[in-house]
């Protein structure tokens, strides 16, 4: 059992402590079946403490999912900046970064796209989730401006990219892309096929 002496927190840090504890439990348990009571015990705070920042578990899960989208946006932005002069390079870097994020944080990734994450707020229409999607939209817009990509609705192009890479991420997490079935580099093969369909 974790006591308040084991996990001290300073005044003003309660919200951060609760979120960090919940994120740790998400990684360890590979799911979000924990209760707020158990989270409070693990954080070393009173059972009533979580309710000072989250009215219920749904609100906590929504915030955790949004943190996931914040981190995804950061990963995609960093990947794009790694190839600032080449749309093709940025496209591949971002696709790989997306899958790397999902497979490196499987429980958080599942939560981000779960019904449970959207019970308190509409997570996927929240500005923080849209910011992650907008990194991809910006790339599509740049490609069209440079006449590298076809002139289409950028939202449709971005959706096609997202759906493809999201599917590969989930299949990878679930170990459903065996080499014998899809070859040794399914992500790169899928990205090449996708990009060829977008290019002029």
Same domain, 113 and 97: yes
Same domain, 122 and 158: yes
Between CA 28 and CA 141, with CA 127 as vertex, the angle to 5 degrees is: 110
Mean pLDDT score, 131-151: 97
Note the pLDDT of residue 4. Answer: 42
Same domain, 43 and 141: no
pLDDT of 69 over the 80 cut: yes
CA separation for the pair 182, 127 (Å, rounded): 36
Note the pLDDT of residue 94. Answer: 98
Distance of CA 48 to the CA centre of its chain: 29
Domain that holds residue 43: 1-54
Same domain, 89 and 106: yes
Same domain, 60 and 33: no
Same domain, 169 and 72: yes
pLDDT bin (cut points 50, 70, 90) of residue 3 is very low
Note the pLDDT of residue 30. Answer: 94
pLDDT digits (tens, 9 = 90+) for 103-136: 999 999 999 999 999 998 999 999 999 999 999 9
Same domain, 135 and 177: yes
| DSSP result, the chain | ---TTTS---TT-HHHHHHHHHHHHHHHHTS----HHHHHHHHTS-TTGGGGT-SSHHHHHHHHHHHHHHHHHHHHHHHHHTSTT-HHHHHHHHHHHHHHHHHHSHHHHHHHTSSGGGSSS-GGGSHHHHHHHHHHHHHHHHHHHTTSB-SS-HHHHHHHHHHHHHHHHHHHHTT---HHHH-S-HHHHHHHHHHHHHB-
Same domain, 95 and 13: no
Mean pLDDT score, 139-158: 97
Note the pLDDT of residue 84. Answer: 86
Same domain, 145 and 73: yes
pLDDT bin (cut points 50, 70, 90) of residue 12 is low
Mean pLDDT score, 163-183: 97
CA separation for the pair 145, 166 (Å, rounded): 26
Q: Domain total for the chain?
A: 2
Determine the straight-line distance between the first and last CA of the chain, rounded to whole angstroms: 61
Burial 149-173 (b: 16+ CB within 10 A, else e): beeeebeebbeebeebbeebbbebb
pLDDT digits (tens, 9 = 90+) for 180-198: 999 999 999 999 999 999 9
CATH code assigned at 89: 1.10.357.10
Note the pLDDT of residue 34. Answer: 96
Same domain, 162 and 68: yes
pLDDT bin (cut points 50, 70, 90) of residue 5 is very low
Same domain, 12 and 93: no
pLDDT digits (tens, 9 = 90+) for 29-63: 999 999 999 999 999 999 999 999 999 999 999 99
Same domain, 99 and 175: yes
CA separation for the pair 76, 199 (Å, rounded): 21
**Last residue of a domain, which of 54, 70, 86?**
54
CATH code assigned at 46: 1.10.10
* Average pLDDT, rounded, for the chain: 93
CA separation for the pair 159, 137 (Å, rounded): 9
């Amino acid at each position: 059992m974790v006591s308040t002496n084991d996990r001290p927190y300073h005044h003003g840090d309660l919200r951060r402590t609760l979120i960090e504890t919940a994120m740790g439990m998400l990684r360890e348990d590979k799911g979000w079946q924990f209760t707020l009571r158990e989270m409070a015990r693990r954080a070393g705070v009173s059972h009533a403490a979580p309710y000072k920042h989250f009215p219920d578990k749904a609100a906590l899960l929504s915030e955790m999912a949004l943190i996931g989208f914040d981190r995804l946006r950061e990963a995609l932005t960093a990947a794009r900046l790694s190839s600032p002069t080449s749309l093709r390079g940025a496209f591949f870097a971002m696709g790989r970064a997306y899958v790397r994020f999902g497979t490196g944080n499987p429980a958080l990734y599942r939560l981000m796209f779960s019904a449970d994450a959207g019970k308190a707020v509409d997570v996927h229409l929240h500005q923080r989730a849209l910011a992650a999607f907008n990194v991809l939209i910006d790339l599509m817009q740049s490609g069209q401006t440079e006449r590298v990509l076809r002139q289409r609705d950028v939202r449709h192009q971005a959706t096609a990219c997202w759906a493809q890479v999201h599917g590969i991420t989930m299949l990878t997490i679930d170990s459903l892309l065996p080499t014998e079935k899809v070859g040794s580099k399914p992500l790169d093969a899928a990205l090449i096929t996708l990009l060829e369909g977008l290019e002029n």
